[in-house]
Structure 1
């Protein structure tokens, strides 16, 4: 994705690329959590690399801090404009799903901050609140460091962090399902899908289950959330039974730090399902089927 303009980069350019590569995972993680979009996060990294390549290295005492500040501010600029676009989005807006390494579950706090449920909650924060929360909760930056990154006072950052944390805690109920329980529920869900078993599907769903599907107006999806065991189960099995989806395969996959379901056609991703579990039952389902938002599943 990132290329130097020179066929044979100078020693300074090579050192800059090494710095950027060393911190790329952190930079992508920051941009993705701020934007909820793989495509936008990659665009931000490209812009950050261009700025970094044009920066005189000798004046940068801490490349990591400089790059995080650059990516954060580029993301804030993009997030401000994206929020207006999302107000006119067709149907429910869901973040772009991201395939993650299975062992991310061992880093419970990191996995939680990248979960689909968390990214949906972060959408309700202001851009600055979101930046403060991500830098503080996901990456452990101090209030002083965040103040330097955002160009605000430490007191303001502390107030913003407190407000953002309270907002997230109020809107993000904790569903504590251990990995073994998630695997069991996923296996039963896949079996119900494969067999078109309505009763088995309904047994997996909580009475107050809600399902969201994001097609972005590009593919067929429910324009409004569906509520209740019977409507959600019948809708899911009805979609899977459509003739145009014959040949579609589904399998368990680690999506945004949690086990979910990946849907493929001919080996290419066509959708992703994430969900919350409470007392062994699926409480919330989120289907991402917008073809423009599946880059992170490759």
Structure 2
């Protein structure tokens, strides 16, 4: 890759990180046409298209993902050498996208993002909040934090603790239940509800534990919630002895082809340590 390609690379990586020309242009402080021109230059000099274009934006072609990530790391290494030669310290830089459920994204991950921001100003953490599993093969996320019995074959990671559940209600609420819908219908609490609670007792449902917590706070009935949410929710109390103890492993994982990239490997290791300490503190 010659000099012009390295100059164009930062434009390519900005589009890779943001998914659109306009967002990349704003970050780089240039206009839309400049970004488009520099991407075309990079593609012409390096053997063809890098992105799949669609109405939803720009997505890196699967066979180009590893190449671009390797180029990013080489570029970062060159900058690190330059800083060391000037007496500076090696810094983490770039964007790492961390996906998780709404429960994890609204409780423990903001604290981690803030800690990274204080210690590594050149490194940006993007939180992707979704209860559905993101498609890692299309580079929608670099790291996932997921409650699951086990990981898919193409993912590698480690369990940092367990996500526990309990029954909660607002004092004085009716002896009725809130159910789970959408992607949460396959969750452990949903399986127990289907076996233990008759449909006539269910007065509402949600595909989000965060939304369900608010419904319980409104006094609609009782629900099985992650203890990370239920224990923090103002006005709610645990109702012991109604449901069996329920918990699932909480994994920090990534796509097998990307886990050894220095930027992602470092953030994943720090995230594992942070979550283990945080979960231990919350369970204490």
Instruction: Give 1 or 2: higher helix fraction.
Output: 1
TM-score interval, normalised by the smaller of the two chains: under 0.3
TM-score, normalisation: structure 1? 0.25
Richer in strand (by share): 2
